[in-house]
Structure 1
Amino acid sequence: MNRLLLRDGEELGPGGWPQTPETTPAERLHTARVGLRLLLAAISSLFLLFLLALLMRSQVGDWQPLTDPLAPLAQPWPLWLNSAVLLAASLCLQGARLAARRSRMATSQLAFAAGGLLAVVFLLGQLWFWQRVAAWGYPLAGNPANSFFYLLTGLHGLHLLGGLAVWAWALATRLRRPHAFAVAVELCASYWHYLLGLWLLLFAVLTSSPQTYQSIAAFCGLR
């Protein structure tokens, strides 16, 4: 039978290996935040590359802007509504974060649940607008501008789905693992804020005029 021994004041586990000290909640939160920052850096790099590709591709003659007078993005009021929903989701997550920091867990759980549900509403709104764009005669392969619209909005939606997977896990385990729930609230709030900022950037780019693309491309040396 392996027995616990002490060597130089250090507790040993089975096999004579030192036991790993249990990390504190603050240490786990710090580690999780570092991991999230690395993830966000990778996501930012991915979208930056796609945006640069969009700017370069928009300078080719076959580019047909979705912001033309009769095109879907000429009056993007559904996307404004979706943006408002995502903003509300981000505010709910921030409320959940503040409530958790004050140990008001019931309020935190309610705001956390509301934020995730609003994110689901945002995704459903995006899917509805996709169907609307396709019904207007702008399919995925119809034009390079169409392809970039579906690609960028779809990638953003997939990253939000990933956040919703963590959100659902946190809700399911909130009673059994309260410390893990508190960490999930912190991380999800930061992730939702990031996705909101990313969406606003994508929205601004996708609804920009060809003249704006030309100016940005010239500024970046892509022309």
Structure 2
Amino acid sequence: MQNIAMNTENTKLNIRPIKFVLWLFIVASIMLFAAFTSSYIVRRAEGNWVEFEMPSMFMVSTVIIIASSLTMHWAYLSGKKLNFGSQKLGLWLTMLLGLAFLVCQYISWQQLVAEKVFFVGNPSGSFLYVISGLHGVHIFAGIAFLLAALIGVYRNIAQVKNVLRLELASIFWHFLDILWIYLYVFLLLNH
């Protein structure tokens, strides 16, 4: 009986550091994007700022990432209910929507180039490329979390680890969703 209690306590202790590291990464990411958005406002006030149309695909990518949060939540709930078929489907859909988001970001960059807005030239374009590109890098990290969760389901890992992987993927993916909505609204209001 004491062995079971110690194993349960060890499992709890092993889970907390992983979540803590994830939350540290999220806080660091928030600080990074806060620095970029505040720099955007300060630099814009200095002048020499080229005005241009916001890429229309940003709106499409916003809808896609919101839909991906819904599929991620569905996968998470399915995993907790031991409905592994729905969990797999939800994770695959979330991953596909994440990839669709990245495609939309690429198309958005093509729209910017068509408007003669380049990475180098004017700070207004540079900020847009950096902010959306950095978020895209975070999406790649989110897809890695999704892959880890999918691999766990396909390998039939223990349910405690399955739920942990799902929870970590879910926390990070929802963070990415909220972050993009913030960035999109920020860019719309300050563009």
TM-score by shorter chain over 0.5: yes
| Pairwise CA distance, 1:114 | 0.7
Query: 2:147 aligns to what?
Result: 168
Deviations 1:32-64 (A, max 9, x none): 222211111111111111111111101112012
TM superposition shift of 1:28: 4.0
8 Å contact kept, 1:163–1:191 = yes
Tell me the amino acid that sits aligned with residue 142 of structure 1.
Answer: G
* TM-score normalised over the length of structure 2: 0.87
Aligned to 1:154: 133
Moved over 6 A (4+): none
The equivalent residue for 1:101 is 80
Structure showing greater Rg: 1
- Conserved? CA contact 1:171–1:181, under 8 Å: no
Residues 119-157 of structure 1: CA deviation (Å, up to 9, x unaligned): 110011101110111122111112110000000000000
Aligned to 1:129: 108
- Seq. identity, %: 27
1:36 aligns with 2:22: yes
Tell me the TM-score normalized by structure 1: 0.76
- Give the unaligned 5+ runs of structure 2: none
Q: Residue 124 of structure 2 corresponds to which residue in structure 1? A: 145
Which of 181, 184, 188 is residue 203 of structure 1 equivalent to?
184
Aligned residues: 185
- Distance in 1 between residues matched to 2:83 and 2:13, nearest whole Å: 22
Q: Quote the residue 2:41 is aligned against.
A: 55
C-alpha contact 1:112 1:185 (8 A) present in aligned 2 = no
Partner Cα distance (2:178, 2:125) in 1: 22
Shift in Å at residue 158 of structure 1?
0.2
Q: Decide which structure has greater helix share.
A: 2
Structure 1 unpaired stretches of 5+:
1-10, 12-19, 66-70, 211-223
| Structure-1 separation of matches of 2:16 and 2:79 | 16
Corresponding letter in the other structure for 2:169: C
